[in-house]
Structures are given as structure tokens and as C-alpha cells.
Amino acid sequence: MIAIVNYGLGNIQAFANIYKRSNIPVRIASSHEELVTADRIILPGVGAFDWAMTKLNESGMRDVLDELVIGKKRPVLGICVGMQMMAKRSDEGKLAGLGWIDAEVRKFDLSNMTQKTRLPHMGWNDVAPCKKNGLFEGLESGARFYFLHSYYFLPQNQDNVLAVTNYNGPYASAVHDGNVFGVQFHPEKSHQWGIRLLKNFANL
């Protein structure tokens, strides 16, 4: 059973719809009880870093989430700000992140941007997997995903980078560390490619 963490942010229903249509068991988890039995977890997110952290910390699911991900090593997929929360800190806020991956979230540097490059990074862009991983099975080339962000995920360890996207230079658009996965783009809003990625996550 895949649980989508419902802490009041992100497009919970869009994920649920995609899994339901693919006949993959899914549950929207809004409490400790609904989350604790999950064998896979989706952590969505939109909005500012501190707002998202505050909502998650107040959701009553923070402890069980840490226990499932760190203690029981259940696969977890963070989306957009859900991915950024997995880092230790962010330029966008003051609160501590979840710290599941040794990384920080930085703002794109405007000073060295070319005139054509604007913030936020918004729209469809290419995602190039840089190592073999089940999450990107069938998405090795030509896949496009929808992005909407001004901050990017910077892992300390290059081995954590799963895929790269170019926006004023390459950055990590997908990362992983063991059972922890994060994508900066929105698979739930990325047509056939996003559906494939979400199905891949269910089969990891």
C-alpha cells in the first residue's frame, strides 16, 4: 500500500487518481494511524519551505514518518518542496529540514544568469538520468517533466544524484540515498512520463 502524506499541501488527489487508474493500491494518510502501515510513501509539497515544514511538523505524522523512513527503510518519494524538505536546510527558510539526505537547498544564483534565463525555473524541461535506477526505467531518454521552483537541491555527495536537468547549468533534478528518493519536478503534472515514474516507484 502506497501512502500519500496529506499534511495540507500538494496535489494529493492527483497522485491518488493516477494510482487508482493504474490499479495500484493507494491511501491518503492524514494521521499517524493511516500512515503507520504504509510500505511506500509519497511526500508531496508546494509552497515555501518553512510553511511546508511547519505544516508537516504540526500534522502529527512527523515522528511516524521519520520512523518509517529512517528506522524501517520504507521507500519514500519527495516531490518538489517535498524533496527539498529532505535536505538539512534551505536558503528559503529558517527551519531545519528532515535531514534524510546530506544536502542543502540553495537559491539559483541570479547574478550569473544569462538574460534569457529567468526565475522561477518554470515549465517543461528535460531530465537526464545519470545512473541506472528503477525509478527512471523506460525514461532513459526523451522524457520531459514540469518544473516550478526557484531553489534547487544540492547534495553533499555526488553519488546521491540520480538525474540532472539543465537550467543555467546542470543541477540535481532527482536524488536518492538508499530508500529515500526525491524529484524536483512534478510527476503528477507531467503526462505519460510522470505516470511512468510514479508506477516505477510503486514497483521499486
Q: Specify the residue, 111 or 158, whose C-beta has the smaller distance to another protein.
A: 111
- The residues in 144-163 that bind another protein, with binding defined as CB under 8 A, are 146, 148-150
Instruction: Mark whether 130 is an active-site residue.
Output: no
Block residue for cell numbers 505519460: 192
Q: Which one of the listed residues 92, 104, 149, 188 is annotated catalytic?
A: 188
| Residue 190 Cβ vs another protein, minimum distance, rounded to whole Å | 8
Number of residues that bind another protein (CB under 8 A): 40
Instruction: Mark whether 80 is an active-site residue.
Output: yes
196 near another protein, judged by CB under 8 A: no
Q: Specify the residue, 152 or 160, whose C-beta has the smaller distance to another protein.
A: 152
27 near another protein, judged by CB under 8 A: no
| Residue 132 Cβ vs another protein, minimum distance, rounded to whole Å | 26
The amino acid at residue 47 is: G
Phi-psi region of 125 (alpha: psi -120 to 50; beta: other; left: phi over 0): beta
User: Do 79 and 189 contact (CB within 8 A), yes or no?
Assistant: no
Instruction: Mark whether 176 is an active-site residue.
Output: no
- Kindly provide the residue ranges of all beta strands, DSSP E only, lying in the chain, ordered along the sequence: 2-5, 26-29, 40-43, 76-79, 89-90, 103-107, 121-126, 128-129, 144-149, 151-155, 161-166, 170-177, 180-183
CA–CA distance, 64 with 3 (Å, rounded to integer)? 12
- C-alpha cell at position 158: 555526488
- The residues in 51-80 that bind another protein, with binding defined as CB under 8 A, are 51
Q: Which one of the listed residues 80, 104, 121, 176 is annotated catalytic?
A: 80
- For 42, the 3-state DSSP assignment is strand
* Chain positions contacting another protein, by CB under 8 A: 8-14, 16-18, 46-48, 51, 81, 92, 115-125, 146, 148-150, 167, 186, 188-192, 194-195
Could you give the residue numbers annotated as active site?
80, 186, 188
